Amino acid sequence: MKKRGAVEISLSMIIIIIIAVIVLISGLGLITGGLSKVTDLWDRALKSVEPSLAEPPSFNTPIVWGLGDITSVNTGKEYVVEIAVLNTQDSTISRKVPELVGDGSDCRNWLGGMKSKTVASGEVGEWKGIFKVPLGTIQKTYICELEIDGISEEIAITTT
């Protein structure tokens, strides 16, 4: 009789240990999933707070944006970008937003979320928006033009 009781206790303990391991594994999966979301939110928050323009626009480089002239980006990830434009024309830029053009139509819809502004001749206009290369985009280097009302700057964007 004593041996049977000992066997029953050990089977109970094995079942309890198996249930505990299952609960711990499922909890670990939930925690790591939540932490990755928090990490992504934290990265986006830091990018939006950091000053993104290294230098102001000038007559040599009338358009400056926060990601630089040569940049590498992840497809599917959103980046908060700041764009500054020095209006080097004699006329006013009326109710416009900067656009990405070039390499066919590949770059066209990667930049958005900006409100149109009017910039007088000789003045600097600043925009803040979202830059996102869609998932499924071919991974290569794209040569795009950041352009507003005839003022443009060539940018190389490498997707990863």
Q: Which residues contact 110 (CB under 8 A, 6 or more apart)?
A: 100, 131, 132, 133, 134, 144, 157
Dig out the tokens for 14 from the structure: 């094995």
Alpha-carbon distance 63 to 152, whole Å? 7
Going residue by residue through the chain (160 aa), what tens digit of pLDDT does each one get? 555 555 666 888 888 999 999 998 888 878 887 777 777 777 766 655 554 677 888 888 888 888 776 678 888 888 888 888 999 888 888 878 888 887 666 787 888 888 888 999 889 988 888 888 888 888 888 888 888 888 888 888 888 8
Q: How far, CA to CA in Å, does 134 sit from each of 20, 31, 73, 121, 131? A: 42, 28, 11, 35, 10
What pLDDT, on a 0 to 100 scale, did the predictor assign at position 19?
93
The answer to whether 50 and 39 have CB atoms below 8 angstroms apart is no
- In the three-class reduction of DSSP (H, G, I as helix; E, B as strand; rest coil), residue 103 is classed as coil
What pLDDT, on a 0 to 100 scale, did the predictor assign at position 4?
59
Q: Which residues contact 74 (CB under 8 A, 6 or more apart)?
A: 133, 159, 160
The answer to whether 118 and 97 have CB atoms below 8 angstroms apart is no
What pLDDT, on a 0 to 100 scale, did the predictor assign at position 20?
92
CA 21 from centre of chain: 37
The beta-strand segments (E) located in the chain are 63-65, 70-73, 78-86, 93-96, 99-101, 111-112, 117-119, 124-132, 141-148, 151-159
Strands 151-159 and 70-73, sheet pairing:
parallel
